[in-house]
Structure 1
């Protein structure tokens, strides 16, 4: 019977050691949820500006030294080029939609966040979505401001007829 108090004491010590981990895990979950909401809102804002061709607002979301890698369009190494390419190839031609349920956000300690997901592109003239791609964006939080420092847009492909039909079905609901 002398083992019971020892075992009980060991259990109390173990529980005491785990308590800070549980609180820490809970705080991390709250921080992760807050970060995800923040990055989701930023994504909504930057692509609202993109879709409306509000290039002044759009530009504010990019670091002056942003690196933008596009599998079919090539690489750009500054904000001015990204904005110029958007003006030339996107404005009033293409609308971007994030694919629901694909957005993931990961914190970068003492820097910001990584955002990844899938998006599709719709022709403004017809309203039909024709293509999709994957994306990764690295966001830096500095001096109270969030800006993208790296962007990867890759895996561009045409939507299948089944994907197009599914989109038209959901649009008519």
Structure 2
């Protein structure tokens, strides 16, 4: 399961890093529950409106999983919990800006594919 979640994490963020909106969005279920520390629960439509805005900005925001930080914990008859640390980078005013954050994702196994519902 660890390898499957690690692979899906890399797939999602490959689409994010290359700003491929539709393939990125397709990896999430419509019953998505997206929680942010500053905003609380964010509705599905708002999440993807925000991503579309981010993808259209002149700077390129990229995400990288911090090596060695990935944890995967199975959830019986559901999927898994992914915990890790990631960095987001972009160029602002000619200087690289980096933010490092801990994250949690819950993956639901559906129809043979990992899907991230929230």
TM-score normalised by the chain length of structure 1:
0.61
Structure number having the greater helix percentage? 1
Q: Give the equivalent residue in structure 2 for 1:71.
A: 37
Segments ≥4 residues shifted beyond 2 Å: 72-75, 89-93, 124-129
The Cα RMSD (Å) is: 1.8
Deviation of the 1:118 alpha carbon: 0.5
1:60·1:147 contact (CA, 8 Å) conserved in 2? Answer: no
Deviation of the 1:93 alpha carbon: 3.4
Q: Compare CA radii of gyration and give the structure with the larger one.
A: 1
Structure 2 residue 90 is the aligned partner of structure 1 residue 100: no
1:6-45, Cα deviation, whole Å (9 max, x unpaired): xxxxxxxxxxxxxxxxxxxxxxxxxxxxx11100000000
Q: State the number of aligned residues.
A: 115
**Separation in 1 of the partners of 2:25 and 2:89?**
22
Among 15, 31, 37, the residue aligned to 2:3: 37
Among 132, 135, 144, the residue aligned to 2:103: 135
Structure number having the greater strand percentage? 2
Which 5+ residue runs of structure 2 have no aligned equivalent? none
TM-score normalised by the chain length of structure 2:
0.87
Which 5+ residue runs of structure 1 have no aligned equivalent? 1-34, 151-173
2:21·2:55 contact (CA, 8 Å) conserved in 1? Answer: no
